[in-house]
Amino acid sequence: MGQVAWKGLFLSLFDYKTEKYVIAKNKKVGILYRVVQLSILAYLVGWVFVVKKGYQDTDTSLQSSVITKMKGVAFTNTSELGERLWDVADYVIPPQVGVVLRAQRATEHHAAIRCPLPPKEVAALCDLFCDVCAAGVKTGRCLKDRDSFRRTCEILAWCPVEKRSKPKKPLLASAENFTVYIKNSIRFPKFKFSKVNVLATDNESYLKSCRYSTEHPYCPIFLLGNIVRWAGSDFQEMALEGGVIGIQIEWNCDLDKAPSECNPHYSFSRLDNKFSEKSISSGYNFRFAKYYRDAEGVDYRTLIKAYGIRFDVMVNGKAGKFNIIPTIINIGSGLALMGAGAFFCDLVLLYLIKKSNFYRGKKYEEVKSSSRKSLSSPALNGNQSPEQLGGL
C-alpha cells in the first residue's frame, strides 16, 4: 500500500458519515408511526414518570420498631373463677402479644405426683400398652381411678389431668371497648428520614381522648372491637374460639414533598384460617400457669387454658427522592423505544405492504465499482450537468 493510500486511510478517520433518510408518502405507515410514537411517549410520561416515579431513587430497606399496649378493666363472676377483677396484668400475656378473652381453668392444686389417667383418655385402659401419653409419663403400672371402676394407666404428671370441656360463652365479653395502643417508628437509612405514627403535639390529653379514624390517621389508639370488625369478623364470635389478626402498616413516602405528606396506611386481616373451608385449626389458644407453695412446702399450680386474640403487626414501605441518574436512564430507555418503533415501521413499509418492493428500491442503493477507464471518461468530467449525472 502506497503512501497516498495510507494518507487517505488516515484522513478518513476524521470523516463524518450521516444517514440517508427516505421520506415515504404513505399515509397508513405514517399514521402507524405516529401512533407508535404517541404510545411510547404516553408510556414514558404517564407510567414511568408519573405512576412509577422513574425520576426518583428509592429505598426499600425500611427500619421499624413496634410497641403495643392495651388498656381496659373488666369484672366477671363465673362458677369456675368466682368474682374477679381483670386489668391489663391479668388478660395481656406479653409472650403471646395478645389479649385473653376467654379462659378455661383446669383443676386447681395441680401437683407433680402419680395418678391414674381418666378413662376417657386415648390408650388409658390397662389392656393397652402403658408407655407413652401426652398428659404425662406413663409408669407402666395400673391404678383404679377414683371416679371409675375400671383400672387405667398410672402417669407421672401434674395431677389431676386437665379437663377438656369448653366454656359456652366468652369470659371478657366487654373487652370490645378495650383500647390498643400501637406505636410504630420507621426510618429510611438511605435518605436519613425518620417518622412516627403519633401526632407531634404538646397536648398531653390528646392520646387520652383520641381514637384512630380516617380523620385522625396519627392517633395510634384503636378500639379492639373496631380492629376485629375491620378484619371482617364478629367480635363475640371470635371471643369464643380466639383468633389471629394481622395489622399491616404501610409507609409509601414521596420525599420530594413535605414530610407531612408521608402518612401511615393501615389494613387488617384475619390470619387463622377462619374463612377457609373445612378448617379445624381456626382460632387461637394457649396455656399458662400460676405457681404457689402451700404451708407444707409442696409446689402447686393453677393451669389456665386461654382463648384470645393475637396481634401480628407487620410494617413495610418504601421512600423515593429525585435523582438525576435514574432520570437519565429512563429517558434513554424511552429514546431507545422510539428507535424500536421506527424499526418496526420500516419492517411494515419494506416487507408487509403491496408496494414494498418499490420502497425497498428507494431505501437501498446498489453501487457497483467502476474501472479506471470509466472513471476517466468524459461522462464524468466537471462540464456535465446534474441531470446527466442523475443515474449516479
At 139, the pLDDT band (50, 70, 90 cuts) reads: confident
Averaged pLDDT score across all residues of the chain: 79
Provide the pLDDT for residue 387: 40
CA distance 321 to 326: 11
**Closest alpha carbon to 263 in 184, 203, 366:** 184
Which residues fall within 8 angstroms of residue 78, CB to CB, at 6 or more apart?
84, 171
DSSP, res 26: -
- Give me the residue spans of the domains in the chain: 20-55+323-365, 59-105+177-322
Q: Mean of the pLDDT values across residues 270-284?
A: 72
Q: Mean of the pLDDT values across residues 196-203?
A: 89
Q: Is this model's pTM higher than 0.75 or not?
A: no
Q: What is the DSSP pairing of strand 63-71 with strand 56-59?
A: unpaired
Return the CATH number of 59-105+177-322, one of 4.10.490.10, 3.30.40.10, 2.30.30.360, 2.60.490.10.
2.60.490.10
Out of 198-202, 247-251, 307-311, 354-358, least confident range: 354-358
Provide the pLDDT for residue 96: 59
**pLDDT beyond 50 at 389:** no
Which residues fall within 8 angstroms of residue 363, CB to CB, at 6 or more apart?
22, 350
Are the folds of 20-55+323-365 and 59-105+177-322 the same? Answer: no
CB count, 10 Å around CB of 86?
Answer: 20
Superfamily of domain covering 20-55+323-365: atp-gated p2x4 ion channel (1.10.287.940)
DSSP, res 343: H
At 250, the pLDDT band (50, 70, 90 cuts) reads: very high
CA distance 94 to 104: 19
**pLDDT beyond 60 at 347:** yes
Q: Mean of the pLDDT values across residues 176-189?
A: 92
Q: Residue 41 is placed in which grid cell? A: 411517549
Three state DSSP letters for 35-74: HHHHHHHHHHHHHHHHHCCCCEEEECCCEEEEEEEEECCE
DSSP, res 260: G
Q: What is the DSSP pairing of strand 92-93 with strand 221-223?
A: unpaired
Q: Residue 344 is placed in which grid cell? A: 418496526
Provide the pLDDT for residue 121: 58
